[in-house]
Amino acid sequence: MSTLDKRLGQRFLPYGANYLDWSDMPELREVIEQQVLFRYQTETESMASRLERTVAERLGVGHALAVHNCTEALRLALISTRPAVGDLVHIPAVTFVAVAGAVLSCGLIPVLVDADDSLSMDPTLLPPDAQRVITAHMEGTVAPLPTGVPYLVEDCAQSLGARFPDGRYVGTAGYAGTFSFHHNKVLTSGEGGLVVTGADDAWATMRRYHDHGSARVPGQYPTWNDDAHFGENFVTSEQVAAVQCQQFRHLDELLAGLERMYAIAMAELPGRTDLEVLPRAVGDVKVSLRFRCESKELRNAAVAALTAAGIANWTLGKYLLPEHPVLTGRRSLYRDGFPWNHAPKGLLALSRDGFARTRDLLDRTLCLPLSPELAEKEQALVAKSVRQVLEAL
């Protein structure tokens, strides 16, 4: 642990990971004692089904389906739209490459859409006839949504618990929403994912596809309808669902802790005009403080100073997809270049300036995680330490 970690008596684990505790794992004990780890083995409600019911009730959505990770959730959402090979999917230019990977692995073609000043997809750049759009709520921020898109998929991997101004949870406003339980996310089971939808037909298609095209009845051998299609195995396990159930019990506590530390940190902002804090809206999940530095050089100096002091931080350049080799080189493992061999010729991107402004914004952006599990005094100590380091630059 770093010097700061030792003073605080804690580790800089992201968010939900700090709530994992053997004394607080009744769901995991339950599935171990039952000695059934496959969700469709028992005729009673499985732990995975309990998780899905909890999520659907909490988010106010018709259906939830648990899978191995958020990439699979994105794939299920896309596949359930019954696309044709080579169909276009508009995705954010600023997001993790898994979004592009999910599109390509479905035989579809990603079109990069530039960001606005908040680094969310700029919906004004979308063509009026866009059919499939994935928008990402990055870094806990509630992104603006396009209107009139038949298949709008919300990638909420980094924003579980965020709300739109009208009170709805992110992930529930479009055709489908996807969530991640990766180690660095709001809640965690190491890996894990969820897809939610209010469309009965979409959910039925996703459920079949995620279990080899099966219309499985719990407690029985898989069965297939007369109109069955092929599928894959994305079925989550009972022990992973049990950890996710434990995490969900702490969601309100975690979100409240983030709000509290965000308020403390905002009161301790460094007195510098060359370090602008990017304010967060009421419905955002306050996973981090985000600074916009006057220059890339200042941002890099801040990264070096914070790292030397043992204060966790990160930058966002890794999310700039126009510079990712999979997209710049149209790379594929297939000898015929699938699915790029079905793509239109020319640039598959929508930007007013070739992403120059977005690249500049990313080069000057700095993020510092907040620690919701800390007591208020410890949160204040972290905030003061951050201020001291940044003011000394």
Q: Which residues are catalytic?
A: 185
Longest dimension (CA), the chain: 70
Cα separation of 127 and 167, whole Å? 28
Q: Environment class of residue 36 by beta-carbon count within 10 Å: exposed (0-12), middle (13-18) or buried (19+)? A: middle
**Contacts for 114 with CB less than 8 Å, ≥ 6 apart:** 93, 121, 122, 125, 349, 350, 351, 352, 355, 357, 358
- Helix runs in the chain, H state only: 3-8, 26-34, 47-59, 70-79, 97-105, 200-209, 238-248, 251-267, 296-308, 325-328, 356-363, 376-391
**Contacts for 277 with CB less than 8 Å, ≥ 6 apart:** 266, 269, 289, 290, 291, 292
What are the backbone dihedrals phi and psi of residue 350, each rounded to the nearest 5 degrees, phi first? -125, 110
The answer to whether 242 touches 45, Cβ cutoff 8 Å, is: no
What are the backbone dihedrals phi and psi of residue 234, each rounded to the nearest 5 degrees, phi first? -115, 15
